[in-house]
């Protein structure tokens, strides 16, 4: 395993910024690279400001100051020359396959013979990114959650070509990156499948949500009533949460899984029409609710009686079991732990061990009601076989 001293963070937008900060805090020499000079300058300024705050709170390492940490940071707009001094590239450029493939090849063509290329993509195949770079065994995924310094989870992904050595080195680097809120959790992702673990497990809940939105629109049920169904167990009901995340994001994610997992993910009428009208939720001031005056006040006194939180737990358990069936993870503890570290909510397995038979029944009914085959329980869920797959 090559010793990693110099980490090149490529693409210094929202994610690269956070990755740069934690890599510096881990003691690595960090080279920030972006094609946009202002993005680089902003990243350095933001990282420095973050480090100063930590220094003031006494949260930097023994004898370290914001200036001593930032002194290990350099920047460049030229990947081909900067990569000559790097041991690993962690890539957070825009989510476009041609750009990812391009920077991966530039890394392999110009970097030292041991260099590793780790992609932070959320939706792209790591195998495809590395396919034409000439050293696909040294390409893997390293998927962070936003904001990087605060979210504990990092998924490290093995592509069809990633070597054990590359994977182990990336796991080791990920483990060294500090988290400001609790202990980092590194989830090994053993197969390059859409959504990896955390995003994948949560994805099919959107099939259910989209169905409910359409049903409510047809039956004259208000959005407030759907959110009232969520009750006090949900800090935000389904409609408010969708507004908060952004309807365009939900639409985009559903289209992605419709292509990669099942056509049942196709976004429904309500979501599609709202996106077409430019009502994207919080970011545009209007979605299901009016956000122009801040967080909307939602009257939850009248329930619709159509949304059942237990259905979402069943959907999560089913998708978690599919992740196990496909060999993306070997045990359910990894999946539950990754969900907690990546979403700040418990995964479904702990409750699912006791409830899987009942929940499989709920899913059979839900699949019939919605006409969405994808919601049917998989074999591993129905049989309860996952219970034995802890680690
Ligand atoms: P962003 O748009 O904030 O930053 C992208 C940066 O890449 C920009 O500064 C841009 O100038 C730079 N860039 C574009 N082409 C480049 C090139 N050829 N070479 C060097 N730099 C280049 O995007 P964000 O949100 O930081 O996302 C980056 C990646 O991280 C994407 O792949 C995204 O899917 C992934 N991701 C994003 C998450 C999020 O919550 N935003 C969460 C997890 C992963």
Q: Is 199 a catalytic residue?
A: yes
Taking the whole predicted model, whether its pTM rises above 0.75 is answered as yes
Q: Looking at the structure, do residues 25 and 115 belong to the same domain, yes or no?
A: yes
What is the average pLDDT across 181-200? Answer: 97
Give mean pLDDT, residues 220-245.
Answer: 94
Q: Where are the beta strands (DSSP E) in the chain?
A: 6-10, 29-33, 73-76, 88-91, 116-119, 139-144, 153-157, 185-189
Which residues form the domain of 174? 6-192
Tabulate helix, strand, coil % of the chain (nearest 5): 55, 10, 35
Nearest Cα residue to atom 29 of ligand 1? 92
Residues 275 and 382 in one domain: no
How much distance in Å is there from the Cα of 296 to the middle of ligand 1? 30
Ligand 1 proximity of 256 Cβ (cutoff 6 Å): no
Going from the C-alpha of 236 to that of each of 27, 52, 218, 229, the distances in angstroms are 39, 34, 23, 11
CB-count exposure of residue 37 (10 Å: 0-12, 13-18, 19+): exposed
Query: Is there an atom of ligand 1 within 6 Å of 10 CB?
Result: yes
Report, as an integer, the average pLDDT of 160-187. 97
CA distances from 297 to 196, 223, 239, 294, 300 (A): 35, 12, 13, 9, 9
Report the distance separating Cα 239 and Cα 260, nearest Å: 25
CATH number for the domain that contains residue 242 = 1.10.1040.10
Please pick, among 6, 120, 199, 311, the residue that the annotation labels catalytic: 199
pLDDT (tens digit, 9 = 90+) per residue, 234-289? Answer: 889 999 999 999 999 999 999 999 999 999 999 999 999 999 999 999 999 999 99
pLDDT tens profile 34-67? 999 999 999 999 999 999 999 999 999 889 999 9
12 Cβ closer than 6 Å to some ligand 1 atom = yes
**pLDDT of 33 higher than 90:** yes
With vertex at residue 267, the alpha carbon angle to CA 264 and CA 271, rounded to the nearest 5 degrees, is 155
**Do 39 and 158 fall into the same domain?**
yes
Atom of ligand 1 nearest to the CA of 102: 18
Q: Which of 17, 119, 120, 122 is catalytic?
A: 122
Count of helix runs (H) and strand runs (E) in the chain? 17, 8
Higher pLDDT, 232 or 144: 144
Nearest-5° Cα angle at 226, 361 to 199: 65
Provide the pLDDT for residue 38: 97
- Are 17 and 88 contained in the same domain? yes
Please report whether residue 231 resides in a domain.
Answer: yes
pLDDT tens digit string along 8-28?
Answer: 999 999 999 999 999 999 999
The pLDDT assigned to 2 comes to 81
């Amino acid at each position: 395993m090559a010793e990693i001293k110099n980490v090149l963070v490529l693409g210094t937008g929202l994610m690269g910024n956070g990755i740069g900060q934690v890599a510096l805090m881990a003691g690595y020499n960090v080279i920030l690279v972006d094609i946009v000079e202002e993005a680089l300058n902003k990243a350095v300024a933001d990282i420095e400001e973050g480090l100063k705050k930590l220094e003031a709170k006494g949260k930097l390492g023994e004898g370290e100051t914001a200036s001593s940490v930032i002194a290990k940071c350099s920047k460049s707009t030229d990947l081909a020359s900067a990569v000559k001094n790097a041991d690993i590239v962690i890539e957070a450029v825009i989510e476009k396959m041609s750009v990812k493939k391009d920077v991966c090849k530039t890394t392999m063509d110009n970097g030292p013979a041991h260099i590793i290329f780790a992609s932070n993509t959320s939706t792209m195949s790591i195998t495809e990114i590395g396919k034409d770079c000439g050293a696909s065994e040294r390409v893997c995924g390293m998927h962070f959650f936003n904001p990087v310094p605060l979210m504990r989870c990092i998924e490290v992904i093995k592509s069809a070509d990633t070597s054990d050595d590359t994977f182990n080195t990336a796991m080791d680097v990920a483990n060294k990156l500090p988290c400001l809120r609790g202990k980092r959790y590194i989830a090994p992702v053993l197969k390059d499948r859409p959504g990896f673990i955390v995003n994948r497990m949560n994805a099919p809940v959107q099939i259910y949500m989209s169905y409910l939105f359409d049903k409510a629109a047809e039956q004259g049920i208000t959005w407030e009533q759907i959110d009232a169904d969520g009750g006090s167990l949900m800090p935000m009901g389904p409609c408010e949460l969708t507004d908060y995340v952004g309807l365009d994001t939900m639409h985009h994610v559903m289209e992605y899984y419709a292509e990669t997992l099942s056509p049942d993910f196709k976004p429904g009428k309500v979501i599609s029409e709202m996106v077409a009208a430019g009502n994207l939720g919080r970011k545009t001031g209007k979605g299901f609710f009016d956000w122009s005056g801040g967080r909307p006040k939602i009257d939850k006194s009248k329930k619709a009686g159509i949304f059942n939180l237990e259905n979402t737990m069943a959907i999560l358990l089913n998708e978690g079991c599919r992740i196990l069936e496909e060999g993306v993870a070997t045990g359910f503890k990894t999946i539950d732990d990754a969900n907690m570290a990546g979403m700040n909510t418990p995964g479904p397995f702990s409750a699912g061990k006791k409830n899987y038979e009942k929940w499989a029944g709920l899913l059979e009914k839900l699949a019939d009601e919605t006409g969405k085959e994808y919601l049917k329980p998989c074999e591993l869920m129905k049989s309860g076989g996952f219970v034995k797959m802890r680690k």
